[in-house]
Amino acid sequence: MTEKVGAVLVIGGGPAGIQASLDLAEMGLKVYLLDERTTIGGNMARLDKTFPTNDCSMCILSPKLVAAGRHPNIQLIMNAEVKGITGEPGNFKVRMKRYATYVDETKCTGCGVCAEHCPIEGVNEFDMDLAPKRAIYIPFPQAVPLVFAIDPGLCIGCGECKQFCKADAIVYDYESEVESDLSVGAVLLAPGYDLVDPKVKTEYGYGKFPNVVSNLDFERILSASGPTAGHVIRPSDGDVPKRIAFIQCVGSRDAQTGNTYCSSYCCMAALKQAVIAKEHTEDLEAHIYFMDIRAFGKQFEEYVTRAEEEYGVHLHRNNRIANLVEDSNGDLILRYHEEAEIFEEKFDLVILSAGARPPREAKSLAKALGIKLNKFGFCETDGFTPLDSSAPGIFVCGAFSAPKDIPDSVAQASGAAGKIAGLLGEVKNTLVQPKEYPAEIDVSGQEPRIGVFVCHCGINIGGVVDVPAVMEYAKTLPGVAYAEQNLYTCSQDTQEKIKEVIEELKLNRVIVASCTPRTHEPLFRNTVREAGLNQYLFEMANIRDQCSWVHMKEPVKATEKAKTLVRMAVAKARLLEPLPVSKVQVEPSALVLGGGIAGMSAAIAIANGGYNVHIVEKSDRFGGHLNTIYHTLTGLDPQEVLEETRKEIEEDEKITVHLNSTLEQLSGYLGNFESKLSDGSTVKHGIIVVATGGLEYEPKEYMYGEDEMIIPQTELGRRLAKGEFDAKNVAVIQCVGSRNEEYPNCSRICCFTAMANALRIKKEHPETSVYVLYRDIRTFGFAEEYYNEAARAGVLFVRWDPESPPVVTKENGQIVIRVTEQFIEDEIVIKPDLVVLNAGVRANPDNEELAKMLKVPRTEEGYFLEAHMKLRPVDFATDGIFLCGLAHSPRLIWESIAMANAAAARAMTVLSKGEVESEGATSVVDADKCRGCGDCEEACEFGAARLVEVEPGVMKSQINEILCKGCGTCVATCCNRAITLRHFRSEQIMQMIQAALDLEGKT
Amino acid sequence: MSSEGEKKPGSTGGEGWEPNIVAFCCNWCSYAGADLAGVSRFQYPPNIKVIRVMCSGRVEPQFVLRALELGADGVLITGCHIGDCHYLSGNEKAEVRMKMTADLLEMLGIGRDRMRLEWISASEGEKFAETMREFTERIRELGPNPLTNGGEDSG
Ligand code: FES
């Protein structure tokens, strides 16, 4: 066998490609991140906001772009494509071709003078052709890499840019394309998706009627940094639209275009766009026309309710818009059916929710790499191995294998990284160097020289707060040596700028006035570190989340408040001091809680990466909920997979099994946990994966438990598998215990189960009638095919409204179901001999106790709450603890498996490092002041504060900085003020209080 | 309410008076709740300035006293719900400590209502905004801090 190569080629730089690259890089693999475009960010960079949190897309993506752009183990290869591959898993040669941008990336500073002088204007594809760009351009201001590129299709070679480029970065005579080879151990495909061209749906007039736009067009229109600077105006005349309509399933679930699959994200995207548009224009009326509303993700249903009830978005169910026409004002008249009648409605602006199609490079990629595409042109994967392409050693994640939303894509990305770590674990750290920071500048004894960077955040801050005024004000504050304003302080060019200014002006403290330190402090701390400052010489003022966004209608007061917040930050910054960090060894092993398919998959992935794993299962056997599932939609046998996985667990030497066991006590922290298990063992481990699964809801409704003809779907599955099924008339009721007041969200899997069971009945018992009583069918992705197949096979679908749910009674020994069918608006009476309740998923009740032990949060429904819904789906906010499977939220088997691999990958980014750094912001005791009373020892939950006999009869408190979590409770407890919490010292806080109240602003 | 009793005519602020409020938010829940209020665009009055601490247990009585002494009209302390503290029980200790502080404020004639302790989780953006609105209103009713308007130092 040839030697393995510790490098990976990641193709596609969207959120999935970026996440995978970061994980792989953190695990010690060299990453080549290749993209056809000149920048990374993918379609996510185009989005204005993201559901269900309405987070600003760029705000959460930008730190990742910057992290990928600056990671020493990641090399960006832009404007390139792959041409061929040879070799075998572990050792491939990939042929790639790079197209010239005619700009030397090592010289370009991204200053933009070239574009200012370029006389040629074309359209910017990034802005969906709604804004101009120059022939030399960057697609968007936060671009990474921040390197201009010449569009050879536009450039006339006039030489203006070359003349003005001070960096001498423009090279006209580059060869237009250069081929070369990359040596890698694995390839990961993450090219994402492209939008279906709405023009193919000629009945909607896209491209013909100016006020018909696509969903991505509309994202750009909503975006503060988009072509209209965030003003929602219609393209034809710049008027502010008052009535807008969204048409769903444009080029999805559509036989005409051949795209019979569901694109998965468009329902939520339309709801989000409607909500955000209404935030822009208060009296706006928004209507969404859809077939089923597919809000199947974590807490999505609550978002739908909020959009409808709080924002007044109008939802028109069961609606396929026939066509639309334009009137002489450019308004659009929409024709649709409702309640068997045809209606016409007039709108100022129509948004087409265009679906996803395979990325344009799909075919050439498939050819170059020898992978199979499915019949729609997406990457083919197998049921339970969603991260493997058809070619060994080539993995896939994100929308390229099936349309999906960002969190699912990101989870898959980490999952694929986990699989690759299994393949290349033994050659990690062979091609990369650990990140080195410059030696720290000694600032002791220096007067404070503070630099203040005030962020516009597009118009997120600048649209409300007078940023230039805040900047000018900052300059007047004592200790401030420099202040500037930035469009986006978090962009890569600004990081460079900050470093330059620190160096040039010898700044010894830095303040960024922008968003929240909870998301952005690490980025800026890293920046100051790169400039040689200790990371604790940085402070943030949150003038967005806690100012411009919450005082949107009071710009003058918001500006005053922003000044105060900056003044407070400056007051603290004057007293900031460099803090040392100590390093701690990481115990190179994992504890996995839960022995279902998710827990087992995570354990195997971590063991494959080369680490010892302890897996703890409460019951006497592995498999969890999967033990009750006998068939799936795609026809695969879960029991087979379960058996194989179980065997792997039992045979893997690195895995220690703890059956009939639970976690009883946990101590320690990231890198150094110690657990006591109920089987008596004590385990040391570096990380924890929570995979405690979920439960099937036990119905209280529909006469469940009162008649043996009424059964849950798992029982139906069992009967079908065991040949015990003999019913002639089956009624399946959907959404049992889901989407109601007690449990507002969707259980995600029940529509799939319904189709799987219905199809199996129809196949094995064609004479049996099957009724599926549903609210919305949510067979997202390619599962839509099975919905169509079921309809073709004669399964009868009856849609009911939550206002009038089906009523189950027993009359003369016969079960009778009465339900008002929504299409025909009439009552239907069904007399089944078997009623199947498709009961939803419930969070594991054990989560409550466990959450307390782990000190991690849960949702209202009792699922664990991840660090960030969009971009950190498998991380907890607490370092070193990860989650996957139904512990997170309801998911399908293959999704749980992918997520388990993701949790494993994230865990391995810690395990592979060998050591972690402690917090610098810990408590210290002044031994002279300490009277040895022991109050702090009592107050400290972490055993960090301890009384020690320093000399005979003299007790003093000592604080272990590795154990100290920096909460500061001991400080407030100490009567003698002998304890100081570094970075939150009393003097620092007192200064902030004073600054907050100093209305004349003298401090 | 003693502080209301002491309010002098004219010290209700008259024109242009706006309550000045300092809030201490723990990093893990209530500061995140404040961020969520922002992301969700829940509007509240700009009178409140937040100081971030890692845990509500970090808040010393002297912070509250100092704020009032320097002219704050109200002080708010927010933390994770009991049971949710990222450091297990910091908020429980804060509760005890802040109760004592409130008693002290009452004794000093400043009035315990000028201080409030509230639990706000990371998912309670609306609650954060509502608390800000409500507390600002309450302080508006109470009028300016008696200490800054020549109010007596002792009850
Ligand atoms: S961390 Fe929120 S109160 Fe302790």
DSSP characters over A421-475: HHHHGGGTTSS-----PPPPP--TTPPP-EEEEEE-TTTTTTTTS-HHHHHHHHH
Is A722 part of a structural domain of the chain? yes
Q: What is the CATH number of the domain that holds A769?
A: 3.50.50.60
pLDDT of residue B15: 67
- DSSP SS3 for A68: helix
Cβ–ligand 1 contact at B81 (below 6 Å): no
A457 and A514 in contact (C-beta within 8 Å)? Answer: yes
Whether residue A830 has pLDDT greater than 70: yes
Q: Do B87 and A969 touch (CB under 8 A)?
A: yes
Looking at the structure, do residues A415 and A556 belong to the same domain, yes or no?
A: no
| Contacting residues of A for B17, CB less than 8 Å apart | none
CA distance A124 to B37: 34
Greatest Cα-to-Cα distance within chain A, rounded to the nearest angstrom:
96
Whether residue B13 has pLDDT greater than 70: no
Looking at the structure, do residues A527 and A538 belong to the same domain, yes or no?
A: yes
Is B126 part of a structural domain of the chain? yes
**What would the mean pLDDT of A139-167 be, rounded to a whole number?**
90
Whether residue A999 has pLDDT greater than 70: no
CA atoms within 13 A on the CB side of A898: 29
Which pLDDT band, with edges at 50, 70 and 90, does B149 fall under? low
B35, B46, B87: residue with CB nearest A545: B35
Ligand 1, residue B119: give the atom nearest the CA: 3
Q: Position of tokens 């006389």?
A: A119
Question: Quick check: B30 contacting A, CB < 8 Å?
Answer: no
Nearest residue of chain B to residue A860 (CA atoms): B123
Whether residue B10 has pLDDT greater than 50: no
Looking at the structure, do residues A180 and A242 belong to the same domain, yes or no?
A: no
- The percent of residues above 70 in pLDDT, for chain A, comes to 99
Whether residue B6 has pLDDT greater than 50: no
Contacts 24+ apart (CB under 8 A), A796-800: A796/A769, A796/A770, A796/A771, A796/A772, A797/A771, A797/A772, A798/A771, A798/A772, A798/A773, A798/A774, A798/A828, A798/A830, A799/A318, A799/A774, A799/A775, A799/A823, A800/A773, A800/A774, A800/A775
Residue A80 belongs to domain spanning: 1-100+176-193+358-435
Note the Cα A805 to chain centre separation in Å: 35
Question: Quick check: B77 contacting A, CB < 8 Å?
Answer: no
DSSP A384: T
Spacing, Cα A994 to ligand 1 middle (Å): 24
Closest-CA distance of chain A to residue B126, Å: 11
Q: Do A986 and B59 touch (CB under 8 A)?
A: no
**What would the mean pLDDT of A566-585 be, rounded to a whole number?**
93
* Cα Rg of chain B (Å, integer): 15
Is B58 part of a structural domain of the chain? yes
pLDDT of residue A892: 94
**What would the mean pLDDT of A511-515 be, rounded to a whole number?**
96
A272 and A350 in contact (C-beta within 8 Å)? Answer: no
Which pLDDT band, with edges at 50, 70 and 90, does A1001 fall under? low
Looking at the structure, do residues A7 and A109 belong to the same domain, yes or no?
A: no
Interaxial angle between packed helices A750-764 and A713-721, expressed in degrees from 0 to 180 and rounded to the nearest 10: 30
| Contacting residues of A for B89, CB less than 8 Å apart | 941, 969
**What would the mean pLDDT of B80-107 be, rounded to a whole number?**
90
Closest-CA distance of chain B to residue A298, Å: 14
CA distance A598 to A839: 21
Spacing, Cα B91 to ligand 1 middle (Å): 6
Looking at the structure, do residues A218 and A317 belong to the same domain, yes or no?
A: yes
Spacing, Cα B87 to ligand 1 middle (Å): 6
Whether residue A170 has pLDDT greater than 80: yes
Is B77 part of a structural domain of the chain? yes
Cβ–ligand 1 contact at B120 (below 6 Å): no
Among residues A376, A357, A372, A377, which one has the least CA distance to residue A264? A357
**What would the mean pLDDT of A959-970 be, rounded to a whole number?**
86
B32, B49, B55: residue with CB nearest A518: B32
Looking at the structure, do residues A643 and A679 belong to the same domain, yes or no?
A: yes
DSSP A145: S
Cβ neighbours of residue A531 closer than 8 Å, sequence gap 6 or more: A438, A498, A499, A502, A503
pLDDT of residue A523: 87
Question: The pTM is what?
Answer: 0.81
CA distance A592 to A602: 8
Q: What is the CATH number of the domain that holds B126?
A: 3.40.50
Is B1 part of a structural domain of the chain? no
Ligand 1, residue B56: give the atom nearest the CA: 3
Which pLDDT band, with edges at 50, 70 and 90, does A57 fall under? confident
pLDDT of residue A581: 83
Q: Do B35 and A554 touch (CB under 8 A)?
A: no
Looking at the structure, do residues A708 and A826 belong to the same domain, yes or no?
A: yes
Whether residue A229 has pLDDT greater than 80: no
pLDDT digits (tens, 9 = 90+) for A107-116: 886 777 799 8
Closest-CA distance of chain A to residue B14, Å: 18
Is A820 part of a structural domain of the chain? yes
| Contacting residues of A for B54, CB less than 8 Å apart | 921, 965-968, 981, 984
pLDDT digits (tens, 9 = 90+) for A539-559: 999 999 999 999 999 999 999
Is A1000 part of a structural domain of the chain? no
**What would the mean pLDDT of A222-238 be, rounded to a whole number?**
86
Is A990 part of a structural domain of the chain? no
- Buried b vs exposed e over A860-884: b needs ≥16 C-beta within 10 Å? ebbbbbbbbbbbbbbbbbbebbbbb
Structural domains counted in chain A: 7
Whether residue A868 has pLDDT greater than 90: no
**What would the mean pLDDT of A984-1000 be, rounded to a whole number?**
91
Whether residue B12 has pLDDT greater than 50: no
Residues linked to residue A819 through DSSP beta bridges, in sequence order = A828
Is B84 part of a structural domain of the chain? yes
Q: How far, CA to CA in Å, does A64 sit from each of A58, A475, A644, A810, B73?
A: 10, 31, 37, 59, 41
CA distance A986 to B59: 9
Spacing, Cα B88 to ligand 1 middle (Å): 8
Q: Do A545 and B37 touch (CB under 8 A)?
A: yes
pLDDT of residue B9: 33
CA distance A867 to A395: 26
Q: What is the CATH number of the domain that holds A457?
A: 3.40.50
Cβ–ligand 1 contact at B117 (below 6 Å): no
- The percent of residues above 90 in pLDDT, for chain A, comes to 80
Q: Position of tokens 């290869």?
A: A77
Looking at the structure, do residues A206 and A349 belong to the same domain, yes or no?
A: yes
The total number of residues shown for chain A amounts to 1003
| Contacting residues of A for B84, CB less than 8 Å apart | 857
CA distance A494 to A488: 7
Is B52 part of a structural domain of the chain? yes
Whether residue A227 has pLDDT greater than 80: yes
Q: What is the ipTM of this complex?
A: 0.91
The residue type found at B146 is: P
**What would the mean pLDDT of A897-919 be, rounded to a whole number?**
91
Q: Position of tokens 């908020």?
A: B91
Is B9 part of a structural domain of the chain? no
Cβ–ligand 1 contact at B24 (below 6 Å): no
Among residues A675, A497, A512, which one has the least CA distance to residue A112? A497
pLDDT of residue A343: 85
Which pLDDT band, with edges at 50, 70 and 90, does B1 fall under? very low
Greatest Cα-to-Cα distance within chain B, rounded to the nearest angstrom:
46
Question: Quick check: B107 contacting A, CB < 8 Å?
Answer: no
Closest-CA distance of chain A to residue B16, Å: 12
**What would the mean pLDDT of B73-102 be, rounded to a whole number?**
91
Q: How many CB pairs under 8 A join A and B?
A: 152
| Contacting residues of B for A558, CB less than 8 Å apart | 46
Q: Do A568 and B40 touch (CB under 8 A)?
A: no
- Phi–psi pair at A982, nearest 5 degrees: -65, 145
Question: Quick check: B89 contacting A, CB < 8 Å?
Answer: yes
pLDDT of residue B154: 36
Q: Position of tokens 């300059």?
A: A475
Q: Position of tokens 């009721």?
A: A733
Is A1003 part of a structural domain of the chain? no
Whether residue A469 has pLDDT greater than 70: yes
Structural domains counted in chain B: 1
Note the Cα B80 to chain centre separation in Å: 15
Looking at the structure, do residues A808 and A838 belong to the same domain, yes or no?
A: yes
Which pLDDT band, with edges at 50, 70 and 90, does B148 fall under? confident
The residue type found at A506 is: K
A558, A859, A986: residue with CB nearest B46: A558
**Which of A53, A565, A997, A1002 should be substituted to probe chain B, the one whose Cβ sees the most B Cβ atoms within 10 Å?**
A997
- DSSP SS3 for B6: helix
pLDDT digits (tens, 9 = 90+) for A609-623: 999 999 999 999 999
Closest-CA distance of chain A to residue B94, Å: 8
Cβ–ligand 1 contact at B90 (below 6 Å): yes
Looking at the structure, do residues A760 and A883 belong to the same domain, yes or no?
A: no
Q: How far, CA to CA in Å, does A294 sit from each of A268, A287, A300, A748?
A: 7, 16, 9, 9
Is A995 part of a structural domain of the chain? no
Q: How far, CA to CA in Å, does A790 sit from each of A262, A615, A770?
A: 16, 40, 10
Is A421 part of a structural domain of the chain? yes
Whether residue B4 has pLDDT greater than 50: no
CA distance A543 to A550: 10
- DSSP SS3 for A917: strand
Which of A383-397, A627-641, A929-943, B123-137: highest mean pLDDT? A383-397
Q: Do A857 and B34 touch (CB under 8 A)?
A: no
Which pLDDT band, with edges at 50, 70 and 90, does A860 fall under? confident
Which pLDDT band, with edges at 50, 70 and 90, does A165 fall under? confident
Q: Do A547 and B89 touch (CB under 8 A)?
A: no
| Contacting residues of B for A551, CB less than 8 Å apart | 43-46
Domain boundary among A403, A435, A467: A435
CA distance A641 to A237: 59
pLDDT of residue B40: 77
Is A1002 part of a structural domain of the chain? no
CA distance A343 to A338: 7
Looking at the structure, do residues A775 and A831 belong to the same domain, yes or no?
A: yes
Closest-CA distance of chain A to residue B67, Å: 6
Of the candidate ranges A217-221, A582-586, A722-726, the one whose mean pLDDT is the lowest: A582-586
Spacing, Cα A370 to ligand 1 middle (Å): 54
A285 and A300 in contact (C-beta within 8 Å)? Answer: no
Question: Quick check: B86 contacting A, CB < 8 Å?
Answer: yes
Of the candidate ranges A216-225, A351-360, A654-663, the one whose mean pLDDT is the lowest: A216-225
pLDDT of residue B5: 37
End-to-end CA distance of chain B, in Å? 11
Of the candidate ranges A15-29, A521-535, A913-927, B129-143, the one whose mean pLDDT is the lowest: A913-927
Residue B29 belongs to domain spanning: 18-150
Looking at the structure, do residues A596 and A483 belong to the same domain, yes or no?
A: no
Q: What is the mean pLDDT of chain A?
A: 93
- DSSP SS3 for A216: helix
Whether residue B2 has pLDDT greater than 60: no
Burial of A166 (0-12, 13-18, 19+ CB in 10 A): exposed
Of the candidate ranges A52-56, A161-165, A549-553, A895-899, the one whose mean pLDDT is the lowest: A52-56
Is B155 part of a structural domain of the chain? no
Nearest residue of chain A to residue B72 (CA atoms): A997
